[in-house]
Amino acid sequence: MFKDKKVVFSGVQPSGVLTIGNYLGAIKNFKTFSDEYYCLYCVVNEHAITVRQNPAELRKRTYETLALYMACGLDPEKNTLFVQSHVPAHTELGWILDCYTMFGELSRMTQFKDKSAKNADNINAGLFTYPSLMAADILLYQTELVPVGVDQKQHLELTRNIAERFNQVYGETFVVPEGYIPQTTAKIMSLSEPTKKMSKSDENENAVVRILDSKDAIIRKFKRAVTDSGNEIRRGEGKDGIMNLMSIYGAFTGKTEEEIEREFDGKGYGDFKMAVGEACADALAPVQAEFTRLAADKAYLESVMEKGADEASRLAARTMSKVRRKLGFVELGRK
């Protein structure tokens, strides 16, 4: 495999300020792979345009997402950090894989149904074929392991199906990837609707804690978090709000659910919410400080983008050469 290491690939859309759900469920875990794997982490800006974006905002968020990757501990010397649109092979392979993805498979994708309901005036073809482009992102680098949230598990299964289908027709071409889903913080829920995933596109600011929120804002949001009519910090039926807060607190402190229940035995929801807010704000403070430093140096961020694009393009070219040859495409021997 590349550099004699197995490959890890993952990506985050720059369609809004990242949340603690993105941080705990994905980015915080990315750096744990850096020593053992060859890691590629992408800012997937082409996926973002399935929903209409303000161009200036998208550009700004692209820089910010890259800066947040590094602020969360991703060293560009140990990881390939790049922007999706800087590697044209993503969209080339995306079209090819469209031709090996069945209409019925795409029709069954839960996220397509959810996003179509939210964007009824813009149900575009890209929204429908988004999973094929995601498959291209992954298969392009012969990825073995994909850190994903629970909500992306269906897309990863489709990626595996597409790879196996292509391999059956043309012989071994793509590595069939495995998913990695952290068990303890796989899905962080909305503070206002704890049965729904926390989303950076949520219009209700009180539902979402963003990585760059101030300490005051973080504590205020946790104080307003929906719980239930009881007053005990315990797991149980109908306690989705408390269980979500316990999950967040455990992720930031390393404490188990049993330890959390003992710590807050006899205490009320007010004390617990304050503790969760404090733990979250304290954990994010160094990330925010490093982000501020990095975001101020646009030239450095662009140098990281260029280096990452060069590395990713070189690796992608190997796969694309193999794919084009197997498909029967004529390649020119350009110098």
Tell me the catalytic residues: 115, 197, 200
Sheet holding 145-147, edge to edge: 79-83, 38-43, 7-12, 145-147, 178-180
Handedness of CA 198, 202, 206, 208 (dihedral sign): positive
Q: Give CA–CA dist 141/312, Å, rounded.
A: 8
Asked if residues 89 and 318 have their Cβ atoms less than 8 Å apart, the reply is no
Which tokens in the block code for residue 22?
């993105």
Which tokens in the block code for residue 196?
């729904």
Helices (H), 211-268: 215-223, 240-253, 257-263
Q: Which residues contact 97 (CB under 8 A, 6 or more apart)?
A: 132, 133, 135, 136, 139, 162, 166
The β-bridge partners of 189 are: 197
Helices (H), the chain: 20-22, 28-30, 45-48, 55-71, 89-98, 103-107, 110-118, 125-139, 153-170, 215-223, 240-253, 257-263, 269-295, 298-327
